[in-house]
Amino acid sequence: MGRITLKQVTKTFGDVNVIPPLDLEINDGEFVVFVGPSGCGKSTLLRLIAGLEDVTSGVIEIDGTDATHLPPAKRGLAMVFQSYALYPHMSVRKNIAFPLKMAGIDQQAIEEKVTSAAKVLNLTDYLERRPGQLSGGQRQRVAIGRAIVREPEAFLFDEPLSNLDAALRVNMRLEISQLHQDLATTMIYVTHDQVEAMTMADKIVVLQAGIIEQVGSPLELYNSPANQFVAGFIGSPKMNFIGGKTAAEHKAETIGVRPEHFILSDKKSAGAWEARIGVAEHLGSDTFFHVDAGDKGILTVRAIGEMGLRHGDKCWITPDKNRIHRFTADGKTIGK
C-alpha cells in the first residue's frame, strides 16, 4: 500500500520560504506527476517525501502512519535520481542487489530477485558490466531495477528522463507507464516537461513557487484550468492569451484560446478575425502558423498539414466559442 498524505507541510532554507503550507493527498496505486517551471519546488517536495530533506513544519503520513521524522530507508520508498546515481565501481548485478544486501536478505533470495528484475528490464545480458559501460537508457533501467527489487510502497522519480535523447525519452516514458500498469504501485514523478506529465499521469500536480496551482487529471487540467498559469503551462504549443477590447467583449480581463481551437481559413466568415500569416512550422501531420492578428497580437494557430497558405497571405481565424477561457485581472478563471 502506498497512500501518502501531506498536511500543512512547509520548507524553508534559511530565510527563503521554498514551500509555503501545502496539503496533498496521493492515493494508493496512483501515478502522480509534479510539474512546474524550474525552481518551483517540485524536486524539494519529492525530497521531503523521500526523507532526504527535513520538513520545517507539518506532517507527512505514509499509509496513515506519521513518517515525518522517519529516516529515508525506513519509509519504504524507492527513488530514481536524475543522474541515476549508480555506484560506478559495482557491476550492474551488484548495483541492483545493493538495497537487498543492505536489508540483510540471504544470497539465494537476492540472486532470484535480481535475475527476475533484470529480465523485466531487459538487462540480463548486461549484469556483469559496470555502469560506465552502459548507454544512457540502460543506466536508467538499472536505476529503476535497483528501485523495484525493494518492492517499495511507492516509487519516486526525480526528472529521470531529462538526460536522455528525444527518441529514447519517448521509449522510456512508455516503459515507465507499462511498469506502473504491471506493478500497480504508487509512483510520484517530477518533471518540468508538460508532455511527460500529460502522457503518463493519472493525476497532475501543477506547482509554481511552492504553491499548488491545481491538482487534477490531465484532461481536467487541459479542459478547465483553474487559472491563467495552468492554462499556459499545460498544452503544447502554449495557449494564446488576448487582452484589451477583444477580452472585454467576453467580459474578461484576458481570454485564452488554444492553437488547436482556432479554425484557419482563407475565406472570410462570420465571427472570424482577420490576420496575416507569419512563420509556419510544418510538422507533417499538423502545421503551426504564427499569425499577426493586428491588435490581438501574434497568435499561434494549428492547421492541417497541407494548407497552401504562404508567408504574408491574408487569412481569417475563427475561435471555437465553447473553448474560450476567460480570466480575471489576477489570473483566476471565470466560470462558464
Partner 1 sequence: MATQHSRSAARFMMAPAVILLLGWMLVPLVMTLFFSFKKYLPLRGDSMANGLEWVGFENYVRFISSSSFWPSISATLIIVGGVLLITVVFGIALALLLDQPMWGQGIVRILVIAPFFVMPTVSALLWKNMFMDPVNGFFAHMLKSVGMQPIEFLSQHSLLSIITIVSWQWLPFATLILLTATQSLDGEQLEAAEMDGASWPSRFIHIILPHLSRAITVVILIQTIFLLGIFAEIFVTTGGAFGTKTLTYLIYQRVLESQNVGLGSAGGVYAIILANIVAIFLMRIVGKNLDA
Q: Which residue is associated with the grid cell 524550474?
A: 38
Pick from 28, 61, 63, 81 the residue near partner 1 by CB under 8 A: 81
Q: What is the rounded distance in angstroms from the CA atom of residue 50 to the CA atom of residue 48?
A: 5
Half-sphere exposure of 300 (CA within 13 A, CB side): 17
Nearer to partner 1, 42 or 203 (CB): 42
Three-class SS of residue 199? helix
Pick from 21, 52, 56, 331 the residue near partner 1 by CB under 8 A: 52
Nearer to partner 1, 72 or 243 (CB): 72
Pick from 48, 77, 206, 242 the residue near partner 1 by CB under 8 A: 77
* Residue 96 beta carbon to partner 1: minimum distance, rounded to whole angstroms: 10
Nearer to partner 1, 41 or 152 (CB): 152
Q: How far lies 193's CA from each of 34, 97, 202, 221, 282, in Å? A: 10, 31, 16, 15, 22
Q: What is the rounded distance in angstroms from the CA atom of residue 149 to the CA atom of residue 129?
A: 19
* CB-CB contact of 78 with 183 (8 Å): no
Q: State the binding string over 100-129 for partner 1 (x if CB under 8 A, else -).
A: --xx--------------------------
Residue 134 interacts with partner 1 (CB under 8 A): yes or no = no
Q: What is the rounded distance in angstroms from the CA atom of residue 189 to the CA atom of residue 21?
A: 21
Q: State the binding string over 203-222 for partner 1 (x if CB under 8 A, else -).
A: --------------------
* CB-CB contact of 144 with 121 (8 Å): yes
Q: Which residue is associated with the grid cell 520508498?
A: 77
Could you tell me the strand order of the sheet in which 154-158 lies?
A: 77-80, 154-158, 186-191, 31-35, 203-208, 211-216
Residue 282 interacts with partner 1 (CB under 8 A): yes or no = no
* CB-CB contact of 239 with 232 (8 Å): yes
Half-sphere exposure of 315 (CA within 13 A, CB side): 25
Pick from 46, 50, 117, 242 the residue near partner 1 by CB under 8 A: 50
Nearer to partner 1, 78 or 257 (CB): 78
Q: Which segment (86-94, 235-243, 249-257, 304-312) binds partner 1 by CB under 8 A? A: 86-94
Half-sphere exposure of 95 (CA within 13 A, CB side): 30
Residue 93 interacts with partner 1 (CB under 8 A): yes or no = no
Pick from 17, 20, 98, 272 the residue near partner 1 by CB under 8 A: 98
Q: Which segment (31-39, 81-89, 218-226, 249-257) binds partner 1 by CB under 8 A? A: 81-89
* Residue 163 beta carbon to partner 1: minimum distance, rounded to whole angstroms: 12
Pick from 8, 37, 39, 89 the residue near partner 1 by CB under 8 A: 89
Pick from 99, 145, 210, 235 the residue near partner 1 by CB under 8 A: 99
For 106, residues 6+ apart whose C-beta sits below 8 A from its C-beta are none
Q: What is the rounded distance in angstroms from the CA atom of residue 226 to the CA atom of residue 170?
A: 29
Nearer to partner 1, 2 or 256 (CB): 2
* Residue 41 beta carbon to partner 1: minimum distance, rounded to whole angstroms: 18
The contact set with partner 1 (CB under 8 A) reads 50, 52, 71-73, 77-79, 81-83, 85-90, 98-99, 102-103, 146, 150
